[in-house]
Amino acid sequence: MAGELSTRGAIVIVGFMGAGKTTAARALARARGSSALDADSLIEERLGTTITQAFARDGEPAFRAVEETVVGDLLDRASAGEIISLSGGAIGSERVRAALRRHLVVWLDVGLAVAWRRSAGDKRPLARNRAAFEALYNERVPLYESVADAIVPGGARHAVPGAYDALEELRRAPAGTRLLWAISPSAEYPVWVGRGVLGAGVWPIVRGPSRRFLIADEQVAPLLAERLGEVDGQLLIQGGEANKTIASAEQIWRGLALSGAARTDHLVALGGGVVGDLAGFAAATYQRGVPVVQIPTTLVAQVDSAYGGKTGVDLPEAKNYVGAFHQPAGVLVDPAALDTLPAAELSAGYAEVLKTALIAGGALWEQVAADAPLDERMIVDCIRCKLAVVAADEHDGGLRQVLNLGHTVGHAIEAATHYTRYRHGEAVALGLLVALRLSGQAELREQVSELLAAHGLPTQASELEAAAVLAATKLDKKRGPQGVALVLVEAPGRVRYGAAIADADLERAVREVLV
């Protein structure tokens, strides 16, 4: 991760071939009424020829030496207000990586398939062989990640100008804070992640024209609310899934009305997933919609529920049956807030980390499978996985359903026990084991079971009737004409949604986690 930001630093855009660095830099410069410096153009000026011709004439080592000199000199003299797009390979130089530490670095994170589609056939010397291209991509991605202060999806080159204010907020954030830019068809918003970011003054909505109304967990508010500074109103609610009800939503609506909250104001959700869902639902419906800023304080909320805009309340019959999609105006994630969590609550959140790792595969799964300690990078990787899925499918029309891994049966367990016996993460842990059994992944199931047990999560449920769980499962809100379909795992990083499961198979898998 990049070092402490300087107010003198330029905005430097990095990324792999085809990410759109030059396009993004020029768009940002136009929006700011300035011009952008393009490292590739400066390198070609120094070489007196095109990069393609230089590769053919001099070879790659000679080109890299010139690239390092030109880019290093450019970064050494660059100052605040300048906008620079770097050549894709410059990040391989230690000198360049060191020079980037005093600048604000934006990584346009483009996927491999998109990068290849944009780059192949355009005469780039390193985009002629797919296997070599993929190897180079895998080699460079960790370098981009290591220097990035902000990560913007490469498929959203247009987003960089819109993210400018959020980028500038990084300058006041604690060292090491990262910005993740979330995109979806209906909205784009910033996610700041860093220890101490809560209380640093970072905020997505201009204070003054829009007043802040805090919706907080009554146990969390005494610990963290003062870090927000002055608010214009405060409503405390009880946490816990049993309180995620229409009655609690009405309590918020009426409290806002009595406080004089208007459509120009915004809500602030301070707490775990229950508070986030309730405040988000209230924001979606109060006066037909006001903005909400999410400040998740539990692990399950920090890695999953605070993003993507799903809001709502439970009914006695089924979970999350009443709600709305309402994307947040921004999310502040302070891992230091987790220091206040009871051990059982932290353990419950681990189930969502494990679920996300099974979906993402790759480096995140490797960390989780090795039972590596939870750290800020793991939280960031979980968020990035969630944001990428939501960007592709905001309203659960297809791909987003993979995020339901373990949740169909998990939600059923919660409903069957009236939301009082198991924390959400504990129920999801059991649901994951059911899903892995139905996936035919015995070895992976055993590995996951051991990880769950090591983190204090249940691998079997007591005093629970299979019939009640199966009945609640059939009320899952994602059921279709063919009945309930589950998310199954072929391997970490390869999951599929919409798998039809015979009732008898589901019953056997559910009974396996009952004692």
Q: Are 386 and 205 in contact (CB under 8 A)?
A: no
Residue 182 included in any domain: no
Q: What is the pLDDT of residues 77-93, one digit of tens each?
A: 998 889 999 999 999 99
Strand partners, 322: 313
Residue 327 included in any domain: yes
Rg (CA), the chain: 24
Q: Are residues 232 and 326 in the same domain?
A: yes
Residue 355 included in any domain: no
| CATH code of the domain in which 70 resides | 3.40.50.300
Q: Are residues 204 and 334 in the same domain?
A: yes
Domain that holds residue 405: 378-512
What single letter denotes the amino acid at residue 123? Answer: K
- The phi and psi torsions of 379 (rounded to 5 degrees) equal -60, -45
Q: Are 239 and 271 in contact (CB under 8 A)?
A: yes
What letter would DSSP give residue 321?
Answer: -
| Alpha carbons 284 and 49: distance in angstroms, whole number | 56
Boundary residue ending a domain (157, 172, 187): 172
pLDDT tens digits for the chain (515 residues)?
Answer: 444 544 569 999 999 999 999 999 999 999 999 899 999 999 999 999 999 899 889 999 999 999 999 999 999 999 888 999 999 999 999 999 999 999 999 999 999 999 999 898 777 888 889 999 999 999 999 999 999 999 999 766 678 888 999 999 998 899 999 999 999 999 999 999 999 999 999 999 987 789 999 999 999 999 999 999 999 999 999 988 999 999 999 999 999 999 999 999 999 999 999 999 999 999 999 999 999 999 999 999 999 999 999 999 999 988 899 999 999 999 999 999 999 899 999 999 999 999 999 999 999 999 999 999 999 999 999 999 999 999 999 998 899 999 999 999 999 999 999 999 999 999 999 999 999 999 999 999 999 999 999 999 999 998 888 999 999 998 876 666 666 789 999 999 999 999 999 989 999 999 999 87
Residue 370 included in any domain: no
Q: Are residues 302 and 424 in the same domain?
A: no
Q: Are residues 104 and 16 in the same domain?
A: yes
Inter-CA distances, 38 with 88, 151, 383, Å: 11, 19, 31
Residue 212 included in any domain: yes
| CATH code of the domain in which 442 resides | 1.20.1090.10
What letter would DSSP give residue 305?
Answer: I
Q: Are residues 468 and 425 in the same domain?
A: yes
Q: Are residues 25 and 143 in the same domain?
A: yes
Q: Are residues 317 and 455 in the same domain?
A: no
Q: Are residues 31 and 151 in the same domain?
A: yes
Q: Are residues 149 and 232 in the same domain?
A: no
Which pTM does this prediction carry? Answer: 0.94
Q: Are residues 412 and 328 in the same domain?
A: no
Q: Are residues 124 and 208 in the same domain?
A: no
Q: Give the count of domains, the chain.
A: 3
Element containing residue 213 per DSSP (H, E): strand 212-217
Residue 188 included in any domain: no
Boundary residue ending a domain (284, 312, 341): 341
Residue 177 included in any domain: no
Q: Are residues 203 and 75 in the same domain?
A: no
Residues 6+ positions from 31 with CB-CB distance below 8 Å: 161, 164
| CATH code of the domain in which 290 resides | 3.40.50.1970
